A and B are shown apart, each in its own frame.
Chain A
Amino acid sequence: MKDKAIRKKVKEKGGKTAQPSPRSQVALGNEESPLEAAPAPKRTKGAGMREKWRKIRAALLPNPADAATPPRRSANPLFDLPEEQRAKLFTWLRECPFDDAVRQMLRDQGIADATPLQLNDFFQHEAEQHWEKRIGRAAQEANALVQLVEKSPVRFSAGILAALGQEAFRQIASGQVEPDAMGKLATLFLKARSDERADQMQELKREKLRRELQDQIDHALEKLAEEVDRHPVAREAFEALRKELATSMEAAL
């Protein structure tokens, strides 16, 4: 109410006789009253936060996520463990649903004692790390496989390459296939393609053989016809045989 009265008074007298607020006296050394200064929009904490993140997205400010992650060891001693013991603990947590059992195993190994909350925190952090590593590797390996196939002399459509990359990604991400196996998959993929081409070649060869056989049969029949001409009685039977042979050859082709 008092503020309102002051503001009203300032408005009426053009702000010249306004009483400075106690806060302005402390903060600004009794300088010009904020009410006398040029009006500026009030900046809320939320607006400031939004502005900060807008600048971070525009790369005008460094992203706090890019900065070195503060060590979690102060909060959770499990993150202080050596790499080998961390891997062992992660395996235990993944395979054993009972925190008490895991804590007992930790004590047995003389590693450290931890609260269930610390175990959960450790597991979640490690699981996320493992996930990001595996997926990142899967995407890289799939890209590498697609590039390898692209470099091969055989041309593939973009759709086939995308399907190949997707399948490679799915296989590696599922954890069922080691990345090295992808090289073998690429080799098999290319071999399957070359086998397909070999099959086509074989088919062409078979077709050629059939034509040669047909020509030989025709030739033999011509010769036989010449012989039959010398025996007119057998000519009718020969023509029937020739017709039957031609029909069966057409059916075979």
Chain B
Amino acid sequence: MNPTPAETEAPYTDPEALLQARVLKILKPCLSYWLDEQTLYLTLNLGRPAVTRARLEAALRELRDKAYVDFRVDPLSRLTEWRLTPSGHALAQPL
């Protein structure tokens, strides 16, 4: 019998959820400081297989919609920067 999706639910079986978890993990040690998106992208691609920019943007959008991350555009460098919100920190804590 094929198990239903609810029965097989486990952390990070979904690749997109895994990517979001990796983003949270990267942003976690930044504390309250902003990390620019390019550095985030490069960090994700330290390991292989590579993460595309489109996937990263989708992951960030979803995390932002869930209020786990916050973003701003740096007025001087014009770079988009990200950091965890308090709820994002709480979520990233037990990972």
Contacts and interface: CB of A to CB of B under 8 A. Distances in A.
Given A132-B29, A139-B31, A174-B39, A120 B7 contact: no
Given A45-B8, A53-B11, A174-B39, A124 B48 contact: yes
Contact of A166 (B29, B33, B39): B33
A47 B47 CA distance: 33
B33 A165 contact: yes
A139 B29 contact: yes
A65 B6 contact: no
Contact of B30 (A56, A57, A127, A139): A139
A136 interface: yes
Nearest to A47: B6
A46 interface: yes
B29 A128 contact: no
A57 B95 CA distance: 9
Contacts of B33: 138-139, 142, 165-166, 169-170
Interface in B60-95: 94-95
B34 interface: yes
Contacts of A143: 31
B71 to A, nearest CB: 14
B48 A131 contact: no
Nearest to B5: A46
Contact of A120 (B11, B29, B47, B95): B47
Given A127-B47, A173-B35, A63 B30 contact: no
Contacts of A56: 94
A44 B6 contact: yes
Interface residues of B, number: 24
Contacts of A26: none
Contacts of A135: 26, 29-30, 35
B9 interface: yes
B3 interface: yes
B54 interface: no
A65 to B, nearest CB: 6
A100 B10 CA distance: 36
B47 A128 contact: yes
Contact of A128 (B11, B35, B46, B94): B46
Interface in B24-50: 26, 29-31, 33-36, 39, 43, 46-48
Contacts of A128: 46-47
A88 interface: no
Contacts of A47: 6
B8 A131 contact: no
Given A44-B4, A63-B94, A173-B35, 20 more contacts: A44-B6, A45-B3, A45-B7, A45-B9, A46-B6, A50-B9, A57-B94, A65-B94, A65-B95, A123-B47, A124-B46, A124-B48, A131-B43, A135-B30, A138-B30, A139-B29, A143-B31, A166-B34, A169-B33, A174-B39
12 contacts: A44-B4, A44-B6, A45-B7, A46-B7, A49-B9, A50-B9, A120-B47, A128-B47, A131-B46, A132-B29, A136-B29, A170-B33
8 interchain residue pairs of minimum CB distance: A124-B47, A127-B46, A46-B9, A169-B33, A46-B6, A135-B29, A136-B29, A139-B31
